[in-house]
Structure 1
Amino acid sequence: MDNSSESESEVSESEIADYSEKPYKQLRDGELKVKVKVDTFKCPFCSGKKKQHYKYKELLAHATGVAKGSAARNCKQKANHLALSKYLKNELAGDAEPPRLQLTVYSASQSQAVVNDMYVWPWMGIVISPLRGNDDKTLLLDSAYWLKKLARFNPLEVKTIWVEEDSAVAVVPRFSGGMDGFTSVTELEKEYEVKRCGKKDWSYKTGDWRFKTYGWCARGDDYNCQGSIAEYLSTVGKLRSFSDISKEEMQKSSIVVDDLADKIAKKNEDYNQVQYKYNEQIISLQRVLRQKEELDQTYKEETKRMQEISQRNVYRILQEKEMLSKKLEYRMKDLDAWSKELDKKQALTELERQKLEEEKKKNDAVNSSLQLASLEQKRTDDRVLTLVEEHKRKKDEALNKIRQLEEELNNKQKLQMEIQELKGKLKVMKHREDEDDEDVKKKMKKMNEELEEKCSELQDLEDTNSALMIKERESNDEIQEARQELIGGLSGLLSDRTNIRIKRLGELDEKPFLKACKKKFKGEEAEVQYAILCSKWQETLKDSGWYPFKRVGTEDKMKEVVDEEDEQLKSLRDEWGEEVLEAVKTALEELNEHNPSGRYSVPALWNFKEKRKATLKEVIEYMTLQIKNLKNLKRKRKG
């Protein structure tokens, strides 16, 4: 860091002050340049440092710090920086930056008044608030209230005093002792003066003075007057001039600057020591790195040598392994030959044993399956026989009731004809009643009695007919229940190959939809479109608000058929073709015939060969045939 090449031993600690005279003379004569610009300086003794330019204070702190450095520092370097420090103080003191005091801008007369006035210090203000009729005295005497109200001036604390003679509350805010406190108390005074509520206004008390709040900065006349405010000011403060306070602040600032300069010098010295240790550590680290590189090179060479030895050993082991493998191969061939001979001898016995075991397993599996099937079939047969017998009994009862109803109907019609005939004869007899024929009267009486008897018989027949109709309805209900029971019982027994199966009437046939989608789309897209289309039209069929039917035929032969001119059906045919339309028409006709109110599919026993509902007789015949076939199959298995 020093541009001199002389050794430390040439200048001792006691000779530093004497030696500093020579560089001081060089600085004063201009041989060594310090000032670069108006406010920029450089150290002529530290040309090798990174930082070349300083402010006046920074350079002074640098020179002072190096001059007061530790004993380890170069003595000549200390002497040079002592000369620089003396030069800066004596020759360049005018270039030092003046201390910046934050003073309020005043006119020339005001500035002189500020300097000459005696102030209460620490800085204090006085705020007077007269008590009015509706004011809360307790609130006005609350220090917290005024501390909050005067918060914009940043007071440290607030003291409230009751002024009895003026019936007013005096508030004394205290501010910090520095220039910030002076600025705050000046702002307070200026704000109240602008409102015409300053100290002079309080002294005159003109107009509506009780409705205003007055404020000013506490000065000597406030301190020296009589009253409670003066007593408090004299207790907590003292009178000082602005110039004294400014000088004290400058002295404090100078002390702080000197202290900071010492700290900077100490930090610089510590930095230099750390830098020296850092350099030592760098040298040590470089030495360690060189040693590491040498060790790495040695390690690589040793590793290479070990790899060569390992390769030779591996090659030798592989050769030995190959030789042993050949010997083992010869031995294995011999063992294979012996094993084949043994296998030939045991082959017949082993094959026979395996065949017997396989046969046994097959027989066990068949027997187990037959037993399970037999048990299941027996349960199914019992259930079906019970259903068949129950349906046969109900069918016979229904047929007997129907025959009885027909017989009763014939008798009823015969009685009605006889009654009409008697009524006609009676009308004829009434016309002959005027002839006073005794025979005619007797005949009319006899005919009336006969008519009453026939009417009584007709009433009995109608009562019997009503009872039979009720029984017929009950029989029909039982038959429908029997059909539902057959549907539930046969759902797991009927296959797709039988003529009699269970069909859900009103459900769409999905084959035409799949066929149509495969024509339009390919791969998975066809499957997706087919599923969407089927789902959409199945939901459309359930919509009771859609009724695409029309009536055709005469009065007795009137019937409802699907209206193919319906807009949705026409659109369906145009987009997807006739086969899809026919599937939708079939589902609509089935719903309209079997479940027009609910519009949802219902299960039914169906004759797929003749494409109609299967009768109970057909179902019973089919079940009887299946039972016979099962019995024959059981006999064959037992045989």
Structure 2
Amino acid sequence: MAPRDHDAKEKSAKYVLEDYEYRYYKELKEDSGKIRITGSLFKCPFCSSRGHKREYVLKDLLHHAARLSKSSGDISVREQARHLALGRYLKKYVVGRDERGSISSSRNADVSKGQLFVWPSMGVVANIKTDLKDGRHVAESGTQLRNEFTTKGFNPVRVHPLWNRFGHTGFSIVEFSKDWAGFRDAMAFDAYFRDKNAGKSDYRFFEERGDTLFGWIAQEDDFHSGNPIGHYLRDNGDLKTISSQEAEERRKTSTLLSDLKNTLETKKADLSEMKTKYRETKSSLQKLVHEKDLMIDAYNAEVKKLEDVARNQLDRIGQSHEKFMKQLKDQKESLRLEEELLGKRQVSYEGERKRLKHDKEMIDKAILEQRKADEKVFRLAEQHKKAKEELRQKIIKLEKELDAKQSLELEIERLRGHREIMKHIKDDGDETAKKMQEMTQSLEEKEEELDDLHALSQALIMKENAANTELQEARKALIVAFGKVTSRSFIGVKYMGELDNKPFLEAAKMKFNKEEAVLKATEVCSLWESHLKDPNWYPLKTIQVGEEHKEIIDEDDEKLRELKEEYGDEAVKAVTTAYMEINQYNPSGRYLTPELWNRQEERKATLKEGVTHLLKQWKNLKRKKD
């Protein structure tokens, strides 16, 4: 191989190695959680992915990365590039924080002891993406950000989103632990964003920030700012320098040691006092034990004396007991006989009681059935009365028409009679002939008028029936047409008997959160829709208005009372309105009936209104097309 070709090949391999190293280094920067296991234990993210799950301290992991980054025949270019990127990342981001360890090392990381920080340590996250929902800005929860930062090894205690009257401000406060470890985590948090060109200075410099997340450690200028960040920091933290915090901790430690020393001296004095009291108590106890022994001996002698007296008393009591037991046996036998007699009477009384209870239940059922039957009979009577009134009006109308027809027929018969009379008149004079001719002519005109009236009546009846049929079909066609239109125009279709769910939803929102309110309102509406379809539910009562009887809603109905107590008057109004509509349009089937409806005036729309509105919409549509 020529030297030039060899050099070109080496140069190409170098470029490939550098390209792979940059790519893997970028992956490590974007997801630092791949390396750290705990505070002091690490893993190789590239070897772990192949099943080599070994734990390293930082020094050993650096050695591992250096060993596998060297060129060797057993190591591929990709493997070499991975471990070069790992060593580079550890030296830049991990060694400076974990090996120096203490807060004094933070001074080398561009931090001075006189610099003011918010304590306990806090970070600021800015440019959080928000969305506008229901007039307020919302964003992801603080828990999601906390989990993300935990994965990156910053160990936040919590993330608190900042809100104002417009909703989420796009800022959050990251709180760390109240010790030096928390401060180190906050500094690592700040360095992470600075390395990504997303620190505080970058946030202030860039006007077009896009979706980039910015972050920094909270310091003096943040603490004194007049925005929500400053308000939160002042309410939850203080400004301190590293020196003052170290001095405060030393003071607390000194105070704690002093308190412990004083406590130890106090405990020693208490122990000495307790030893003295122990010796005194021990001597007193020994004296009490001796006195106790003497008392026990005296007690035993007294007990023996009492036992002898008690034995004599027991003998006398035993004799009296035998006599008393005999009397009890006699009384027991007498009571047994009385019990048997009472048992027989009890059986008889129990049977009589059950029979009376059964008769009472049957009477109550009969009264209830009779009451329902009376209500049905009353409703039928009202319906019959209404139908009878309609029939009476029709009869009066027909009688008037019949009277007119009969009057015409009588006039015709009268004229026919005159004609017959005139035929038998002997006088053949011109005057008689002339009268007869006039009467005949008048008779023919009346007969023609009667025929025309009859024909006109039949034609009008047929025309009215046809017109009614056409009107009904036209109305049905309009209902179908408007039923397909989703716009809220003032002419539309209303399903009579449909339950309005708005009052239920509004009442549920007063008791539950938004999601539970929707579910609860849907459940209750479904229940009441089943009640409305139930023919056995009859929440009406009849009252007398003048000489007529009228059915109105019974406000004392048990179901309506329960609904009013739980969901209010508006819900009751929605149910009763739907019930009256079903009774009016479909009392037997009790299903919803579509009706052409004037939404503006809340009434049944006329056919003319429906046609006019439909023509207006057609003209508007035609005008837009033209």
* TM-score (norm. length: structure 2): 0.31
Instruction: Name which one, 1 or 2, has greater alpha-carbon Rg.
Output: 1
* TM-score (norm. length: structure 1): 0.30
Relative contact order (alpha carbons < 8 A, sep ≥ 6): 1 or 2 greater? Answer: 1
